[in-house]
Amino acid sequence: MTNKISEPAKWHGSYYELEMQYNESDEEVINSALKTMAKHMSLVYKDNYVEKRQPVQLPIQINKEQTYSFIGKFTYSKTITLNSLVEVILDGETASVIVSIPLCEIEEYFSIDYPLTIKQNQWLKRMHEMFIELSVIIYGQSKFQLAMIGDEVSGYTRIGEIKGSDLHNEEIIFILPVDLQRKLNVEHIGVEYPHQLRMYEDIME
């Protein structure tokens, strides 16, 4: 990995993201999610200089007027490690924990064709597996109300706004806990994962 791409100050363009939403800014729940991520992603504080980064000391104190940013690493394969941005954003009654991999980082290894679907980009299959696995692990320790995976997906919809029709999207993967499955009447379709989570990937197919 080149320093040019590894340094957050050099990141540009869009991000491929996993967003997990919580219905309140509960410090304990958010810190539980971060603690789980730290074990799997080697979280460090966001800094413009790699040599000055320090491991994250948890728990953190949550201030509703502040965005918290960290750097993590994903092991895509034996030869590919992808740097990522991890953010905690509080927006009204919703708290989001977002994992974002810069597309400029991905372009170091793969060509990108739009739209960003597996049909167009076979490398996305492994990316989805990584994000789904991480979300299932996090949910086991810190139960989110909604998770989404996709290109610039953060903010696409909110817990209180999501509709069944939102799931008919080939560019976004949704991971729903059982309560939201029942609310949207989709508990009998999709792919089941541990903790009664279900994954929906263009359910019209």
Percent of the chain as helix, strand, coil, to the nearest 5 = 30, 25, 45
The pLDDT of residue 19 is above 50: yes
Dihedral class, residue 71 (left if φ above 0, else alpha if ψ from -120 to 50, else beta): beta
pLDDT, greater one: 62 or 65: 62
User: Please, which pLDDT band fits residue 67 given cuts at 50, 70 and 90?
Assistant: confident
Average pLDDT over residues 7-24: 84
What is the predicted pLDDT for the residue at 50?
53
Tens digits of per-residue pLDDT, 132-183?
A: 999 999 999 999 999 999 999 988 898 889 999 899 888 899 999 999 999 9
User: Please, which pLDDT band fits residue 55 given cuts at 50, 70 and 90?
Assistant: confident
Tens digits of per-residue pLDDT, 95-130?
A: 899 999 999 999 999 999 988 888 889 999 999 999
This prediction's pTM:
0.89
User: Please, which pLDDT band fits residue 204 given cuts at 50, 70 and 90?
Assistant: very low
> In angstroms, rounded to a whole number, what is the distance separating the alpha carbons of residues 105 and 82?
7
> In angstroms, rounded to a whole number, what is the distance separating the alpha carbons of residues 17 and 156?
11
> In angstroms, rounded to a whole number, what is the distance separating the alpha carbons of residues 137 and 37?
9
Q: How far apart are the first and last CA of the chain?
A: 37
What is the predicted pLDDT for the residue at 1?
41
